[in-house]
Amino acid sequence: MTHSPITRRRLISITAMASGVILLGKRRALADAPTRWQGSALGAQVSIEIYHSDRTEAERLVQTCVQDVRRLEQQFSLYRPDSAICALNRTGVLVSPDADMIALLNASLEFAVLTDGAFDPTVQPLWDLYAAHFSEAHPAPDGPAADKLAHVLSKVGYQHIKVSPDRVALLKPGSAITLNGIAQGYATDRVAETLRAAGLSTMLVNMGEIRAIGTKPDGIPWQVGLADPDRPGVVSETIGLADRAVATTAGAGFRFDAAGRFTHLFDPRTGHSPSRYRSVSIIAPTATEADALSTAFSLLPVSRIREIAASRSNIQVHLTDSDGKTRVYGT
């Protein structure tokens, strides 16, 4: 069953782009002139902002990154029937998988283990079940029937994915995967690392998740606004980023029912759509980690979130409760 892309669950907005430094002489002004690109990829509005003294070279680097992101879309997008992930979901097998597919699946499995299965790429059958249920003319307001949920839940479980350098297999008949909870972070990191390898040290990359390399040219951290999930266009908190990434997950990003009881956030272990927090934001060294943990932490109790955060290096967690109060854990 094919569904249109969901409304962006990543409720992050860039509230102040780098303005450059003026009146510092021609050479400095040229170095501080940003090269910007905006577009869409992986179901999100995306952007790249870099600083380079050679505008032509800067534009070439940006276009190289854009082409790489298009290639990643061909691997990870559920909205492209000819993508690698769609082929895997149709047949249960992917022969000679791309290196990025292997890397992202292995990362997904690592986060699944770390979060006790709260992050699980095999959650896709639950999405299909709820989407089909709430597409009915008169859907039961309490969601799919218990027997249908139990049947679909039997297909969910990261343990049923086998990854090797030459083959990916879904071992459970009817299983299907989604990388929507981590792919945008991975793409953000790929772009940032490509640009850094080319010698750039000042950039803000947003491929659905945001990563800053260095500070703005004036030495001030990049200012990123965390949007209020219930009030479009309203920033609830502003954070400064330098050599770190941020991702936010909120159930308000997509709701199956008018009452908002069922969102895109499914607990892979129960099949239900809990509403523990209004939003969860993670600041981490990489966008991949921030992306995966913001998804998983939306389903975990505070005690477990704090344990996991304490076990990781340089992780900060912003939990916003239903009453709008935000608690911050980590460094």
Known binding residue 243? Answer is no
Rg (alpha carbons) of the chain, rounded to whole number = 20
Confirm if 160 and 170 have CB atoms less than 8 A apart: yes
What per-residue string of b and e applies to 200-230 under the rule 16 or more CB within 10 Å gives b? bebbbbbbbbbbbbbbbbeeeebbbbbbbbe
Give the number of other Cβ atoms within 10 Å of residue 320's Cβ.
Answer: 21
Handedness of CA 33, 47, 195, 296 (dihedral sign): positive
Q: Report phi then psi at 34, rounded to 5.
A: -80, 150
Note whether 147 and 17 are within 8 A (CB): no
Contact 42, 8 (CB under 8 A): no
- Whole-number Å distance between alpha carbons of 177 and 264: 14
Q: How far apart are CA 9 and CA 329, in angstroms?
A: 22
Residue (of 35, 79, 84, 90) closest to 57 by Cα position: 35
Q: Is 143 annotated as a binding residue?
A: no
Query: 201: closest CA among 185, 186, 216?
Result: 216
Determine contact, residues 126/152, Cβ cutoff 8 Å: yes
Token pair recorded at residue 150: 């139990």
User: Do residues 9 and 279 make contact, with C-beta atoms less than 8 angstroms apart?
Assistant: no
**Ligand-binding site membership of 295 (annotated):** yes
Which segments are annotated as binding site for Mg(2+)? 181, 291, 295
Task: List binding-site positions.
Answer: 181, 291, 295
